[in-house]
Structure 1
Amino acid sequence: MKTIYKISLLSFLLSIVTVDAGYSQAKTYDFPKPVDTTTRSIKLQERRTFEISPNLYADNQFRGARLNNVSVDNGIIEAYIEPENAPINASPWYAFRLWSVDSTETRTVKISYAEDYKHRYWPKLSDNGDTWIEADSSDVKVAEDTSYVEIRLTIPMDTIWIAAQPIVDSKDVYNWCENLAKNRLVDYKIIGKSTGGRDIPFMMISNGKEKKKKVVVLLSRQHPPEVTGFFALQAFLDEILKDSELSKNFLDDYVLLVYPILNPDGVDEGHWRHNLGGIDLNRDWAYYHQKETREVADHIVETVKKIKGKVVLGLDFHSTWYDVYYTPARDLDIVNVDFTDKWLNYIKGKIPGYDPRDEPSGITQPVSKGWFVTQFGANGITYEIGDSTPKEFIKEKSEIAADGMMMILLDPDKFK
């Protein structure tokens, strides 16, 4: 028998009463597949400089670094990487620097992982930590069992950076927000602190008149390595902030609440997945045991209450092995349920040869996608970008997605 997931009328009415009574905390919900998100211990890497030889050094003393140990075997430099705790999703992030003191050296660097973990991210290289290129395939060898990767590198007297993805740390995100805040449509503020005391940033995108408008919520960086998802958020927002007639009309009716980095501790500590509490934040949307999830969930609810708005859509930007949209099951009793198919059809129609991968599901684990349903009865979608999706395509698709979202939300009857 087909199961139809619905938010009960009683639950919905209680949530309205709660908000009207002045209570601004996010309500809890018993998801069918609960996850224990109480704090667990983690192992922080030791921040240090490793002496490989009198002429060669490596270090992990920068935001986003991950390097647990260095050794040399038959002239091969081995960089050893392990996660912050276990069990954990297989997203083995690595990031470290190498340099030579007296002369350049060409060496093989082997990146190996803790037992049972496999290589995932193609190596990226930089000479300044800001601009990145992929390592040439002729210089890279991935083990047949993917337990390690070897890179042939010329190590300069200056520094070379090696990382799983281009490094976008918390400071980079804050700087990006501050730059966007030069736009009169952007109100940027810090809404709280992470477990490690780092800022949790927030941007409201509006024309200055927020009262009684419909609300779209955007989330990103719950999982530290998922940089391509953050690139998608950036392009998505840039499109909305263009001085266009479409954006103007959209912001006449809608407000955006943007939380661009929910896990700044995990990002800066070079974590594979978790926050400083050792937890996957995107499993903590039932009881908010972690500080970051509680801060953001409460702020969303409080802001919506303050402006007397109505959340109609939540988009959570992530990365995985391939581009995919995790969407709500079409039999869910939510507002704006038809948006999903109309949006994906619009994106498909604008990109020749592209067929969006849609993976719908009902309310299962306590992830943000389901939280938008249980908290607001709104449509929630996880917008996933592939690990290796080219940045140019990320930009193109995200701009199209932003335009499509605005047009469909403004006039849904025009779209199929």
Structure 2
Amino acid sequence: MLIRVSLTLWVLCGTLATFPMIYAQQALPYDYPRPVDTRTKQIQKQEKKTWALGAIQVTNQFDGARLNGFSQKNDSTYIVQIVPENKPINSSPWYAFKIWSAIPQTVWLEFQYKEAKHRYFPKVSMDGHFWELLDSSRIIQNDTVQALLHLTLTPDTLWVAAQEIVTSAQVHAWCRQLALSPDVKYGVVGKSMLGREIPMLEISQDSVADKEAILLLSRQHPPEVTGFMALQAFLDALLAPTPLATAFRKKYRILVFPLMNPDGVDLGHWRHNAGGVDLNRDWAYYNQPETRQVANFVVQAVKKDHNQVILGLDFHSTWQDVYYTCQEVNPQIPGFKDYWLQGIAASIPGYTPREEPSEIAQPVSKSWFLTQFGAEGVTFEIGDDTPRDFIAKKGHTAAIEMMQLLVLRR
């Protein structure tokens, strides 16, 4: 289909500008062997409120929160209820709330999920920015649908969350900071179902015309914060003032979509967008506005500037570190993923990357990179509990190894 569109709004040196593009194609649909229904579904909206039980107060009135009920069980135990936005749903039971007590006291919080087992080891913070693991002696976690946390409460607010909270506002602030680099443009490719902006970073030196392109995605699934951390470290390496990174930015166009699901992130969803859909199953017919706008933007942008997409990396989180790859041979950069993973292993002593290849089956992003562009596609998964310093090392090393392999490509 030939259409007239206007591309994104860019932020460059603090100035907004509109870059028009004429007569570009939309992303093509693809009939996957294992299709998924991604039509909009009803979600259960979280009631935003502050609960007050005696001296104790707890609230979910902030972006990224998830708390569906709070009640008292006995003199020392309180029940925390966590339910998903809809179901069926992947078992990623996100929780995040703030709690305090007018009278200092020690209490037990009993987490009840109903739809899942306790997964995320609690993180705590006094300000919502600097986080640490809850002392392991303060949690009792059985292989059940509940967990017990032992907390000392004071009049000071204590943040409790499944992972470090990174809201859409924080992602946009990070993007603006990166855009201070002359090789980075920060823009908005569209809006989510509820009107939140979907950010994009373009990284390249000089003109982007006729360059090969690399796509990077993150936060399709709201709780997957460790994957976003890996993306941050990856971009730190790409933007470093080193000869390797400088040469790479001169040679390639990198399009980064760090916040694919801003509604889900700010609403504290377990997995889905505001349409009740797993966005990483919507890369066939683009029923949801987030995938549709990003997919169309990429297709239009690379067509306009005569770019060939050769690689796509989608940063996620799961139970453990793993690289999900495509079994199909990629004619554009043959052998890339094998050499890349070997290079990562050689650069991190004692670490062996775990690769799990699969055939093209469901409409996930790594398959879309291949079916839409013939590009190598990898889902870069980081474990929920992977140490944060190791996440940074992995993300940085992955970028270095990628640049070393591709910078001399003809």
The reply to whether TM is greater than 0.5 is yes
Structure 2 SS opposite 1:23 = strand
Provide the identity percentage.
Answer: 52
Partner of 1:410: 407
1:62 lines up with 2:59 in the alignment: no
Equivalence for 1:216: 214
Residue 136 of structure 1 pairs with residue 146 of structure 2: no
| Distance (Å, rounded) in 1 between the aligned partners of 2:156 and 2:399 | 41
CA contact (8 A) 2:24 2:303 kept: no
Structure 1: runs of 5 or more not aligned: 1-13, 16-20
RMSD of Structure 2 on Structure 1 (CA): 1.6
Contact 2:234-2:399 at 8 Å conserved across structures: yes
**Shift in Å, 1:208:** 2.4
The whole-number CA distance in structure 1 between the counterparts of 2:111 and 2:169 is 27
Aligned length: 391
Structure 2 unaligned regions, length at least 5: 3-21
Q: Tell me, what secondary structure is at the counterpart of 2:24? A: coil
Structure 1 pair 130–333 and aligned structure 2 pair: CA distance change class (3 A): closer
Instruction: Work out the CA distance in 1 between the residues paired with 2:358 and 2:223.
Output: 24
Whether the 8 Å CA contact 1:334–1:373 is kept in 2: the answer is no
Shift in alpha-carbon separation, 1:334–1:35, aligned structure 2, 3 A: farther
Of residues 276, 286, 289, the one that matches 2:287 is 289
Match of 1:367 in 2: 364
Matches within 5 A, 1:275-286: 275-286=273-284
Q: CA deviation at 1:332?
A: 3.0
* Corresponding position of 2:391: 394
SS of corresponding position for 1:157: coil
**C-alpha distance in structure 2 between counterparts of 1:336 and 1:110, whole Å:** 51
- Aligned mates of 2:258, 2:53 — CA distance in 1: 38
Q: What is the aligned partner in structure 2 of residue 3 from structure 1?
A: none
Equivalent residues in 2 for 1:1-400, closer than 5 Å: 22-53=23-54, 55-75=55-75, 76-101=77-102, 103-115=103-115, 117-143=116-142, 145-329=143-327, 331-400=328-397
Partner deviation per Cα, 1:20-53 (whole Å, 9 max, x = no partner) = x933210000011100000000001100001122
Distance 1:333 1:218 in 2: 18
Q: Report Cα offsets for 1:63-89 as digits up to 9, x if no partner.
A: 000000011111301110000000000
Letter in 1 for 2:279: L
Cα displacement (A) at 1:173: 0.2
2:65 partner amino acid: A
Q: Secondary structure at the match of 2:109?
A: strand
* Matching residue's letter, 1:135: L
- Do the aligned partners of 1:94 and 1:164 also contact (CA within 8 Å) in 2? yes
Q: Secondary structure of the residue that 1:315 maps to in structure 2? A: strand
The answer to whether the Cα contact below 8 Å between 1:372 and 1:379 also exists between their aligned partners in 2 is yes
Q: How far apart are 1:328 and its partner, in Å?
A: 1.2
Give secondary structure in 2 for the equivalent of 1:178: helix
**Could you say what secondary structure the match of 2:401 adopts?**
helix
Give the partner amino acid of 2:401.
G
Deviation per residue, 1:75-105 (Å, 9 max, x gap): 301110000000000000000111112x211
8 A Cα contact 1:211 1:308, kept in partner = yes
Q: Is the 8 A contact 1:64 1:269 kept in 2?
A: yes
CA distance in 1, matches of 2:180, 2:250: 20
- Following TM superposition, by how much is the alpha carbon of 1:337 offset from its aligned partner in structure 2, in angstroms? 3.1
- Give the match's secondary structure for 2:124: strand
On the 8 A contact 2:215/2:256 being kept in 1, the answer is yes
In structure 1, the residue corresponding to 2:111 is in which secondary structure? strand
Kindly provide the CA deviation profile for residues 102-160 of structure 1, in whole angstroms up to 9, marking residues without a partner as x: x2111111111024x100000110111111110101111012x3311111111110100
The 2-side partners of 1:86 and 1:137 are apart by 31
* 1:215 counterpart SS class: strand
Using the TM superposition, give the Cα deviation of residue 333 of structure 1 relative to its aligned residue in structure 2, in angstroms: 4.6
Supply the distance in 2 between the matched residues of 1:305 and 1:156 (Cα, whole angstroms): 58
Tell whether the 8 Å contact from 2:104 to 2:155 is kept in structure 1 after alignment: yes
Q: 1:222-259 CA distances to partner (integer Å, 9 max, x unpaired)?
A: 00000000000000001110001001111221110000
SS in structure 2 at match of 1:270: coil
Kept in 2, the 8 Å contact 1:45–1:66? The answer is yes
